[in-house]
Amino acid sequence: MQQKKNISVLLGAAFLMATSAVGPGFLTQTTHFTQALAASFGFVILMSIIIDIGAQMNIWRIMAVAEKRAQDIANEVLPGLGYFLAALIVAGGLAFNIGNIAGAGLGTNVLFGISPEMGALLSGIVAIAIFIVREAGKIMDRFAQLMGFVMIALTLYVMFTAKPPIGEAVVKTFVPDTIDILAIVTLVGGTVGGYITFAGGHRLLDAGIKGKEALPEVTRSSISGIGIASIMRIFLFLAALGIVAQGLTLDPSNPPASVFKLAAGNIGYKIFGVVMWAAAITSVVGAAYTSVSFIRTFHPILEKYHKWIIIGFIAISTLVFVLVGRPVKILILVGSLNGLILPISLGVMLVAAYRTKIVGDYKHPLWMTIFGVIIVIAMAYMGVYSLINGIPKLFE
């Protein structure tokens, strides 16, 4: 029985992380870059997958060995750093959740013709319902798996109807015409940046899958998460490539919707509604769960009422969207700050991996450390770059 429970949790954690990564922004970015880079975007996806695995495998393994959540490890490495990390994650989680709820509203609007605000309200209620149940963790895992399968299956169908030039895509993935560094960083940020990598890592800790003996499972689960998110990205890339290769233009106000519509007509547009809703609602759930998992260890009261705090978190982001709309400036600012979370958190983990006080007699593989350090340097450089470029936009 234990074995079966473990497999379901390991899959659940992988899907929670993957569906947290696949949100409205993921759909828009993937379509946007396919339009800009055509088949060469395959190379960007390949590079980002390698970096994603390097980052996520490091973080999940070190958390599992330390048997502590990221914020507590950060506080042990440098007192106060955990609070700073938690503040960044919670601020990012709240702001992105407003965007995620907006995406859910857009999906329901496409499907049923109701206003995005009404759709967002109903979607918020669905997300809250998951956490009201006693077995919230189990329901969340199952929900993430179901929505993940739905998104991948529907996007696969649209990909086939778009008839992409697969041969060209394969060639350009290894020999691209152009290499877009910014695109690589954007994808990495969108897959394992911010709160996303911790969605699965903290879920495993919650379910008691930790310690040195759990490392093989944790490593597999961390790679599966990236795999699931990347399959979705590749299908979407090929669908968009099929449309772009036919010389059709995408609607700039909603690029992903026009890919689905141009590929499969009105049915395609409805499929987009389902995919958009599934992508958005799972990101709402993942962001709320993970953001709260960053503060619940700071005080026994937070731990005791963590489910209600998650519900409040979802309620606040839903109400802000319904009453105020999307705070564009806040989203730009948080997006810029989000780029700093991965280098800080991964950097902290790599330092922690060599502190016996935190990981005991665990020996972290040298190649993982080197891989991790390269990612930290590259992402820190790009994170600062996006901050410097993003901040002036606030005052325009």
pLDDT (average), residues 37-41 = 94
- According to the model, what pLDDT value does residue 328 have? 67
Q: Is the pLDDT of residue 200 over 90?
A: yes
- DSSP code per residue over 100-113: HHHHHHHHHHHHH-
Element (H, E) at 308: helix 306-324
Spatial contact of 103 and 24, defined as CB atoms under 8 Å apart: yes
Total of domains in the chain = 1
Q: How many residues does the chain have?
A: 396
- According to the model, what pLDDT value does residue 378 have? 87
Q: What is d(CA 98, CA 330) in angstroms, rounded to the nearest whole number?
A: 10
Q: Is the pLDDT of residue 294 over 90?
A: yes
Q: Is the pLDDT of residue 394 over 70?
A: no
Average pLDDT of the chain, as a whole number: 91
Angle between helices 24-37 and 41-66 (to 10 degrees): 150
Angle at 330 between CA 22 and CA 182, to 5 degrees: 55
Q: Is the pLDDT of residue 183 over 90?
A: no
Give residues with Cβ within 8 angstroms of 211, minimum separation 6: 64, 65, 67
Where residue 232 sits, what CATH number does that domain have? 1.20.1740.10
pLDDT digits (tens, 9 = 90+) for 53-77: 999 999 999 999 999 999 999 999 9
CB atoms within 10 A of CB 175: 10
- According to the model, what pLDDT value does residue 95 have? 84
Structural domain of residue 62, as residue ranges? Answer: 1-394
Q: What is the pTM of this model?
A: 0.91
Q: Is the pLDDT of residue 103 over 70?
A: yes
Q: What is d(CA 21, CA 199) in angstroms, rounded to the nearest whole number?
A: 9
> Percentage of the chain with pLDDT > 70?
95
pLDDT digits (tens, 9 = 90+) for 301-329: 999 999 999 999 999 999 999 998 776 67
Give 172's DSSP letter. H
